[in-house]
Structure 1
Amino acid sequence: MGWSVMLFAAGFGNRMKHLTADRPKPMVEVAGRPLIDHARALTDELPAERVVANLHYKADILQAHLHGTNVQTIVETPDILETGGGLRNALPLLGSGPVMTLNTDAIWKGVNPLDQLQKEWDPDRMDGLLMCIPPQNAVGYDGPGNFLIGANGRIERGDGSIYSGAQIIKTERLADIDRPSFSLNILWDMLMAENRLYAMEYAGLWCDVGHPQGVTNAEALLGYRHV
């Protein structure tokens, strides 16, 4: 199966402070490479037919960087659409099947999380499958957990595992949400109410790079030393 992958790359990166004054967050460098290239490397290992990135803040910089790659871009204008609205807006490029989505502000150490999601995906039981991180595997993360995962893999909200930013999701129900800009949390709540949202836990290490200290943490995780 050839997958469609959505790279979320439109955010303002406010938590990054000075690092995003002159560039979008996916262009912040970790271990000598922009975050967007770390995310692309994960998609390059898949049988992905379509890879799409949504852009908004300083979109021209990302467009220039991605020119000539296999990543198609779509610019959200005049307003940013958040994760749910952004995914729905990109569906003409992604197609009608299930979509893998990946936030571009994290670094992974271990097996490819997208490959692991593919292997666990069961469309007969699932309308969504989230990759979550056990708190002990989240490098430098001190926020609350997001989901409690049951023995059967179904989830409910609670201070348990941390949503990683990687998932497989069916997109048909996005048409039922009557607003232009919205979070994917709205779709997740719909799927949880129908017992169709599942999660799995990542066995490797994960680092959120949403703030300046995250860059330092991620480079330490990768064993990178500045010359």
Structure 2
Amino acid sequence: MTASKTWRPEAAMVLGGGLGKRMLPLTKDIPKPMVRLKGRTLIDHVLDRIAAAGVHRAVVNVHYCADKLEAHVKQRKQPEILISDERQQLLDTGGGVTKALPLLGKEPFLIHNSDSVWIEGVGSNLERLFSFWNPDSMDSVMLLASAATSLGYDGSGDFAMDKDGRLVRRGERQMAPFVFTGVSIAHPRMFEGAPQGPFSMNRLWDAAIDNGRLFGIRLDGLWMHVGTPEALIEAERWIESEDVA
């Protein structure tokens, strides 16, 4: 077995600092990552999956209802939880990861939105993502889902992908077959020269596209973006029907 087949990240960045406004009224008194799906919080679904994939450390950023989220995740034994404190200023995705870099370490790491869940197809999608990763040719690799069959997504798609997995953005007034699931691997070199303060990861991904170093693989299974109360109800229906099957 080659080294690329056995590699897995030591750390994951779990993005938990958002305001969760689209999930109101469920987020009136709790952060969105603590909304429950099938009896477990969204962030526990994510952290369970990360731990099962052999990732030992998770950095969680906190902002809205930060004390509640920090207390909740600190109860876990696996993975090890570290907190990146954004109580004073919400830093958006890119700024949040940049602030957390000292906790994430110097090796490539996983980035995982706290509202991204899925029903697995054959095997583990995170294992497939880890196996596909090649730091020599990639700055980032994304887990992508079919825009046509994903729950909670009604846009025109995000990316097109060539036969090698290299990504390009959807053009204006065009449709693209794939949507970003909020799960990716990132090399720390992406953040060299990154600004301090709030900014989006899109800025760094666009630079990777320009350099031909943004790649993707297709998720095997059913992806659910649980961003609204309606999507939460539908996700529970999907999971229940899969359990019955």
Q: How does 1:179-194 map to 2 (within 5 A)?
A: 179-194=196-211
Report the equivalent of 1:72.
82
4+ runs of 1 displaced by more than 6 Å? Answer: none
Distance in 1 separating the partners of 2:195 and 2:148: 38
Contact 2:35 2:42 in 1 (8 A): yes
CA offset at residue 50 of structure 1? Answer: 1.7
Q: How does 1:11-50 map to 2 (within 5 A)?
A: 11-50=18-57
* Residue of 137, 162, 165 corresponding to 1:153: 165
1:168 aligns with 2:185: yes
* Residue of 222, 227, 237 corresponding to 1:205: 222
Structure 1 unaligned blocks of 5 or more = none
1:131 aligns with 2:131: no
CA offset at residue 135 of structure 1? Answer: 1.9
Report the equivalent of 1:98.
108
Q: Secondary structure at the match of 1:145?
A: coil
Q: Secondary structure at the match of 1:138?
A: coil
- What letter corresponds to residue 150 of structure 2 in structure 1? A
Deviations 1:108-151 (A, max 9, x none): 10143322210111111111100110123302421221111111
Q: Which moved more, 1:215-224 or 1:188-197?
A: 215-224
Distance in 2 separating the partners of 1:140 and 1:80: 24
* Residue of 213, 217, 222 corresponding to 1:196: 213
Distance in 2 separating the partners of 1:55 and 1:112: 28
Deviations 1:8-47 (A, max 9, x none): 0000001112111110000001101110110011111122
- What letter corresponds to residue 20 of structure 2 in structure 1? G
Distance in 1 separating the partners of 2:20 and 2:124: 25
Deviations 1:43-91 (A, max 9, x none): 1112213211111110000111112322211211311001111111111
Contact 1:55 1:75 in 2 (8 A): yes
Distance in 1 separating the partners of 2:19 and 2:127: 28
Q: Which moved more, 1:71-80 or 1:32-41?
A: 71-80
Aligned length: 224
Q: How does 1:53-64 map to 2 (within 5 A)?
A: 53-64=60-71
Structure 2 unaligned blocks of 5 or more = 1-6
* Residue of 92, 102, 105 corresponding to 1:82: 92
Distance in 2 separating the partners of 1:87 and 1:187: 11
Q: Which moved more, 1:31-40 or 1:173-182?
A: 173-182
CA offset at residue 104 of structure 1? Answer: 0.8
Contact 1:148 1:156 in 2 (8 A): yes
TM-score, normalised to structure 1's length? 0.94
- What letter corresponds to residue 11 of structure 1 in structure 2? G
Q: Percent identity?
A: 35
Contact 1:56 1:75 in 2 (8 A): yes
Distance in 2 separating the partners of 1:118 and 1:198: 12
CA change 1:87–1:140 in 2 (3 A) is closer
CA-based RMSD? 1.4
